[in-house]
Amino acid sequence: MKEKSRGSFSGNLGFVLAAAGSAVGLGNIWRFPYLAAKDGGGLFLLVYLILVLTFGFTLLTTEIAIGRKTGQGPLTAYGVINPKGKFIGVLACLVPAIILPYYCTIGGWVLKYFTLFMTGKNKHAVADGYFSGFISGQWAPIIFGVVFLGLTAAVVIGGVDKGIERFSKVLMPILLVLIIIIGLFSLTLSHDDGDTVRNGLQGLKIYVVPDFTGLTLNKLFTVFVDALGQLFYSISVAMGIMVAYGSYVKKDVKLMSSINQIEIFDTVVAFLAGLMIIPAVYVFMGRDGMSAGPGLMFISLPKVFDAMGIAGTIVGFIFFVIVAFAAVTSSVSIMEAIVSSLMDRFHWSRKKSAILVTIYGLITEIIVCLGYNKLYMEVKLPNGTVGQILDIMDYISNNVLMPIVALLTCILIGWITKPKVIIDEVTLGGSKFTRKGLYIVMVKFIAPALLLILLVQSLGLLSL
């Protein structure tokens, strides 16, 4: 009866697409390209790929296996694995609770730009100061954020198979096709600014070919830390999501096959997102445009689409459709991590849990939006950046709590319960664990060391 009340994915495809939908969000389509551009393109890709196949694989396998073995959301799953892990579950559940409000705020920004391109008013987005003017407005950001939160809640209330799985099965293939179309179109672009003619293929070369000229230990360390931090966004680990999704996976599903597919899907989409954005930005804005950082999507890209003429309006519309789709699939997984935890801990219904989380999300999302006007502040963070409420929440969740959750998970599995707990779950029913040796070494030694470096660096205690 318990399995029925919690719900489950119908099979391997539903689970893979839902997990990929979680992984393919703003982290892949927004954060990945600007980090790749900042960190020398091909060099970042190379480091990221190595980390995905080792570090990312280890955390993804661990969390999905914990979820399926216990049949519980993150809040209670760690305690079921071992009583000493109860507090890890609390921290793992705290992460999505902090992320949800500001993720919905950024999702609202995406919806705003989507409506601009849909209504043909995209010229507004090109004006200097438009983006900062919009996010510092009093009502518009709140309204768009609430709409985004409502879309997320509707899918979660729909349940696992009829809500999350059905939504992902429709959106993820569409998303992939649209990204490929825009990516290929990006390669065909060319622009003459009077001095030089730049084309998309040159932008592709910058993106995929590692450039080792002038490479210092300091630069390599920066690329490594950026790629490692990006992995948390890209594969949705250390935030309770994969534990929650793993808890809905049936025992006859071959976990290793699913994990390999999620890894591939996520990495391909991240790469295609960069292919979609970096060559286009390079063509119209040169190398300087590629250093736009977080403003790449909301400030630089609208200018790129404007430079394309009429085609840019269409391309821009499709682009923000893609981003909106990706953002919703990820916010659904973030909310689901909290909802599943409440259902398992307090034995509430899905509807009651989802409504309570939505009310919490609504209140805190309004506070985040007000952080750009009525509640504006400038706080210097330990990593050297200066931030408002959204930035503070992002720093606490992503730079502090997520490395801590991942580190404690590795210690719990690697040294307290031993890796056999995970290996037994993965090999259930005679399934093969193709990277078992790598997994054991990673979870016991290498992953904890990397996470400690990341945490110390995030706290501003380490720099080269």
Q: What is the DSSP string of 101-157?
A: HHHHHHHHHHHHHHHHHHTT-THHHHSTTHHHHHHTSSSHHHHHHHHHHHHHHHHHH
Return the closest-CA partner of residue 62 out of 400, 463, 424. Answer: 424
- Looking at residue 293, what is its pLDDT? 66
Q: Are 273 and 28 in contact (CB under 8 A)?
A: yes
Query: Do you know the residue count of the chain?
Result: 464
Residues 443 and 209: their CA atoms lie apart, in Å, by: 31
Over residues 118-132, the pLDDT tens digits come to 999 999 999 989 999
- Looking at residue 250, what is its pLDDT? 92
Q: Which of 23-27, 249-253, 334-338 has the lowest mean pLDDT?
A: 23-27
Angle between helix 217-235 and 57-70 (nearest 10): 30
Q: How confident is the model at residue 1 (pLDDT cuts 50, 70, 90)?
A: very low
380 vs 29 pLDDT, higher one: 380
What integer is the mean pLDDT of 19-42? Answer: 84
Whether the per-residue pLDDT at 74 is higher than 70: the answer is yes
Whether the per-residue pLDDT at 290 is higher than 80: the answer is no
Q: How confident is the model at residue 299 (pLDDT cuts 50, 70, 90)?
A: confident
Whether the per-residue pLDDT at 271 is higher than 60: the answer is yes
What integer is the mean pLDDT of 422-429? Answer: 94
Query: Residue type for 82, please?
Result: N
- Looking at residue 160, what is its pLDDT? 87
Whether the per-residue pLDDT at 213 is higher than 50: the answer is yes
Sign (positive or negative) of CA dihedral 375, 376, 377, 382: positive
Residues 340 and 348: their CA atoms lie apart, in Å, by: 10
CA 220-272-207 angle, to 5 degrees, is 40
What integer is the mean pLDDT of 89-95? Answer: 97
Tokens 């809905």: give the residue.
248
Residues 97 and 196: their CA atoms lie apart, in Å, by: 49
- Looking at residue 2, what is its pLDDT? 39
Whether the per-residue pLDDT at 289 is higher than 80: the answer is no
DSSP assignment of 432-447: --TTHHHHHHIIIIIH
Instruction: Compute, in degrees rounded to 10, the torsion defined by CA atoms 345, 65, 328, 105.
Output: 60
Whether the per-residue pLDDT at 464 is higher than 90: the answer is no
SS3 content of the chain, % helix, strand, coil (to 5): 75, 5, 20
Which residues are CB-contacts of 182 (< 8 A; sequence separation ≥ 6)? Answer: 276, 315, 318, 319, 322
- Looking at residue 332, what is its pLDDT? 94
What integer is the mean pLDDT of 271-300? Answer: 84
- Looking at residue 396, what is its pLDDT? 95
Tell me how far CA of residue 236 lies from CA of 87, 240, 384, in angstroms: 20, 8, 25
Over residues 376-415, the pLDDT tens digits come to 999 999 878 889 999 999 999 999 999 999 999 999 999 9
Residues 305 and 447: their CA atoms lie apart, in Å, by: 41
- Looking at residue 4, what is its pLDDT? 43
Q: How confident is the model at residue 5 (pLDDT cuts 50, 70, 90)?
A: low
Residues 303 and 307: their CA atoms lie apart, in Å, by: 6
What integer is the mean pLDDT of 63-72? Answer: 97
Residues 35 and 38: their CA atoms lie apart, in Å, by: 5
What burial class does residue 396 get, using C-beta atoms within 10 Å of its C-beta: 0-12 exposed, 13-18 middle, 19+ buried? Answer: middle
Tokens 């501003």: give the residue.
460
Whether the per-residue pLDDT at 219 is higher than 70: the answer is yes
Whether the per-residue pLDDT at 292 is higher than 90: the answer is no
What burial class does residue 128 get, using C-beta atoms within 10 Å of its C-beta: 0-12 exposed, 13-18 middle, 19+ buried? Answer: exposed
What integer is the mean pLDDT of 169-187? Answer: 90
